[in-house]
Structure formats: C-alpha cells, structure tokens
Structure 1
Amino acid sequence: MALPLIGISTYLEDRTRWGVWEKPAALLPAGYHRQTQRAGGLAVLLPPDGTPDAAATAVARLDGLVISGGPDVDPARFGATRDPRTGSPAPERDAWELALIETALTAGLPLLGICRGMQLLNVALGGTLNQHVDGHQGPPGTFVDHEVTPVPGSRLAAVLSPAPLAVPTHHHQSVAELGTGLTATAHAVDGTVEALELPASAAFALAVQWHPEAADDPRLLRALVTAAGGGG
C-alpha cells in the first residue's frame, strides 16, 4: 500500500546560512518530517507559491496537510490594528497557507495545524486572535513546557488520552473569538485556547497551539496519517 502523501508548509527566510552559502531559503525544522515519517506518512515540503490555483493543485495531490508553526499572523488578516509587540508580517506565507487551509477544508482533506497553523485555521474561518499573551514562551529559540487539558469527548482527547499532559510551547499570539464551526478542545491553566477542531462528523480538521514536532510523541501526526489513509 502506498504511503499517504502529507504536505507540510514551510518557512521562507530571506537569509539562511549553510556551509559557505548564505541565500534565501524555504526551510522547516526536521521534527515535522521525521514525525510524519514515523507515523507512516511520506512527507513533502510546501514552500509558499503565489501562482493562481497552486493551492488547489497541491491539495488535489495530497492525502493530508500540516500547516506548521512560524511567525505571527498579520493582524490585518483578522481586522485588527497592529500591536507594537507583534512581529514583522509574512504576507506571502500568510496568503499561501490561508489558501491551503481553505482549499483543504473545501476538499475534506485531513488537516493538522500547529501553533501558527492553529491561529491561521481560526482566522480562515472568520475568527480573531489576541496579539499577545504572557507566559507561553521562554527565551528566543527555546520551548517551555506547560500543562494542557483536552476537553472530554473531543477528537483531541481520543488521540491524546490520558489527560492532562505537558506540552512544548512557544507563542505569544492566541485564539480570541472562535471561527465559524470551530470548537475549543483544550485549554491551558490560564484559560488560553490550546486546541481547535471541527465537529467529529466532519473531515479530520484538528489544530493545536503547541509544538508536537518538538517532543517525542507522534500521536497527533499518527492520527493525521491514519485519517489520510495510512491504516489504524
């Protein structure tokens, strides 16, 4: 049986160094593709593509989609004035990933959002974000662990039971008003929304605020791969 093809969105950086080279690059932390592979999927990276219908073409060839973590979502995307603490916009990536999400939802393609990916899923469905929340990030380049509690009866709880659990996190934007059809299915101790999903009757569409690729726990990626046709 062919391995499910799982697309993963990437960063787009103006200056990246490797060896003697320093050039623009599309890149992704290795935890994403390694966990996808461990879960039984075939990982393919999806750098931003601004050509017409590119998202639809990509989604038509995929069995599942991961929208990865990354920079802050531009507040203009959810009708807000920029907070001074909000990072520099990434318009090309915002446009590409929103197009991927919207096309995947329309097609019923299994979708997993991670950190920024969860925030974009919420924005794609008309929700809003808080531009800054304290206590969910450590020093630059590090993750901090905190406890989250999945909502009993949710798809997330079925994937990650028992609960609560400690997860690696690094973010300062967070979900405010929920997008249409989304349900909050995990919270941090301070009440921050830590997971979103569409109803269990819909196609697999699940997103978490933390970074599962930074931990040794492939259950979320395994659930995506299973939904994408990778067996039980």
Structure 2
Amino acid sequence: MTQPLIGVTTYLDPAAWGVWRMPAALLPAVYPALIQRAGGLAAMLPPDAPAAAEAVVARLDGLVIAGGADVEPVRYGADADPRTGPPARERDAWELALIQAALSSGTPLLGVCRGMQLLNVALGGTLIQHLDDHTGGEGVYTAHTVKPVPGTRYASLVGETAEVPSYHHQAVDRLAAPLTASAYAEDGTVEAVELAGAWALGVQWHPEMGDDLRVMRALVEASQRGTHHPRRGMTGAARHRG
C-alpha cells in the first residue's frame, strides 16, 4: 500500500549549527516523527510565494499546518495586544494560501495550535490574543483535559475526555461561520474545530508532543484514500483574508 505524502509547514528563523549562523527552515523533529509513526511520509514545506501554494498542495496527499508564532492580528482586523508576539508575515501569507489550496482541492488538512488558529482566521474568525495558564511556563508544556463534542469528527476519533500536551497563549475567539467547535477545555477554551463536508480538523494542543496517534493516524488514513481516488474540490470553502 502506498504511503501518503504529508506536507508540514516550517519556521523560517535564524539558527546556529556547527560553525554556521544563518536563516534556516526549522521544524521540531517530533512533527515528522509523528507523521512517520502514524504511517505517512513527511515533507517539509518552508515559506514560499503564496502563488505556489496550489501547485505544492497538488503534489501532496495531506497537509499539516504546524504550530509557531502568533498570527498577525491585522489578518483578523484587530490591533496587536502588547502581549502578542512579533509577526511571522511570510508564514502567515504562505500558510493561509496553503489552507485555501487544501480546502479548494479537498486535500485532508490538520492544523496544530497556530495551525488551528490560522484555519479559523482563514475562514473569517478571530482570536483571543492572550490567555493565562495554557503553558507550564516559558518553554514548558503543560497537560490538561479536553472534552469532545458528541457527533463531531473529533469525537468519532477520540470518544472520551483526553489529557493533551498544551503550550499556547492565544485561542479562538469568534469561531468562523463554516467551522464547528468539536472539543473544549475545562475553562471553555475551544480545543478543536472542524469543517463540515471536508477532512479539515484543527487542534489547539500539540499531538506531536505526546503518544496518542489517533488524530494524526486519521489524517494519514484520509490522505491514503486520496492517493487512490481523485480529489473533489470544495468550491468556495475558503476565502483567503489578505
């Protein structure tokens, strides 16, 4: 059986290795490792011209929008809170274009943390710019429980309340109209979203930091089906905001 090719987006940041100090396309190794453990082949997607997104997605069987920097508030019509981090404009533009291309082509899509937030923004939603108590401190993950909403795709994958690894200070505020919230934290934070009529799921936590393969395995299985059957586009599913 052919393993599906899953693209995963990367940072573009200064880095150091050996004697070298220069900009680099970066991705924590746990992301491709999770894809591989779930049965897929991983391909890194560094920021590129948004116009290239359609051609890139056409070569993929599935797409993961990885975690990372805060989405620039101008993308959802807000002024920046002082606690919002510096913008990653190349990533914002590239990943919004990838999301639009994936939704338009019917390519299975998983958004992780920032990726879930960006999916919400891409479809017209907004974000809370700062939350307390969703990290374990600077650079330290915390764990909390999320409860699935019955009848959702996420609930069909993970039917019970589950403990998940978390590190974020932003979250969904106004949910985009096409999306459904499919899991919540105990404090009411939206922890998963999904799009009806498509395999498009976002999770606020970091599955790559844990041992639960169910969400990533579901993406890989959906992408596996796509390697044997023509994809069906979702006309008008996404509207790229800028």
- TM-score bin (small chain): over 0.9
Residue 180 of structure 1, CA deviation: 2.5
Distance 1:2 1:38 in 2: 15
User: Which residue pairs with 1:151 in the alignment?
Assistant: 149
State the TM-score, normalizing by the size of structure 2: 0.91
1:226 aligns with 2:226: no
The C-alpha deviation readout for 1:125-161, integer Å capped at 9, x for no partner, is 0000010111111222110001110111111111112
User: SS in structure 1 opposite 2:220?
Assistant: helix
Distance 1:180 1:61 in 2: 29
Contact 2:51–2:97 at 8 Å: present in 1 too?
Answer: no
Contact 1:167–1:212 at 8 Å: present in 2 too?
Answer: yes
User: Which residue pairs with 2:5 in the alignment?
Assistant: 5
After superposition, residues 76-87 of structure 1 pair within 5 angstroms as 76-87=74-85
Distance 1:146 1:119 in 2: 19
Question: Gaps spanning 5+ residues in structure 1: where?
Answer: none
Distance 2:103 2:115 in 1: 14
The C-alpha deviation readout for 1:45-92, integer Å capped at 9, x for no partner, is 000002x53100101000000000001000000000110000000100
User: SS in structure 2 opposite 1:216?
Assistant: coil
Root-mean-square deviation over aligned CA pairs: 1.2
Contact 1:3–1:230 at 8 Å: present in 2 too?
Answer: no
Paired residues in the alignment total: 226
After the TM superposition, list the runs of 4 or more consecutive aligned residues in structure 1 that deviate by more than 6 angstroms: none
Distance 2:16 2:86 in 1: 21
Distance 1:27 1:150 in 2: 32
User: Which residue pairs with 1:132 in the alignment?
Assistant: 130
1:48 aligns with 2:43: no
After superposition, residues 57-96 of structure 1 pair within 5 angstroms as 57-96=55-94
The sequence identity of aligned pairs, in percent, is 63
Distance 1:105 1:44 in 2: 19
User: Which residue pairs with 1:18 in the alignment?
Assistant: 17
User: SS in structure 1 opposite 2:23?
Assistant: strand
Residue 176 of structure 1, CA deviation: 0.6
The C-alpha deviation readout for 1:209-231, integer Å capped at 9, x for no partner, is 00000001111110000000169
User: Which residue pairs with 2:240 in the alignment?
Assistant: none
User: SS in structure 2 opposite 1:194?
Assistant: strand
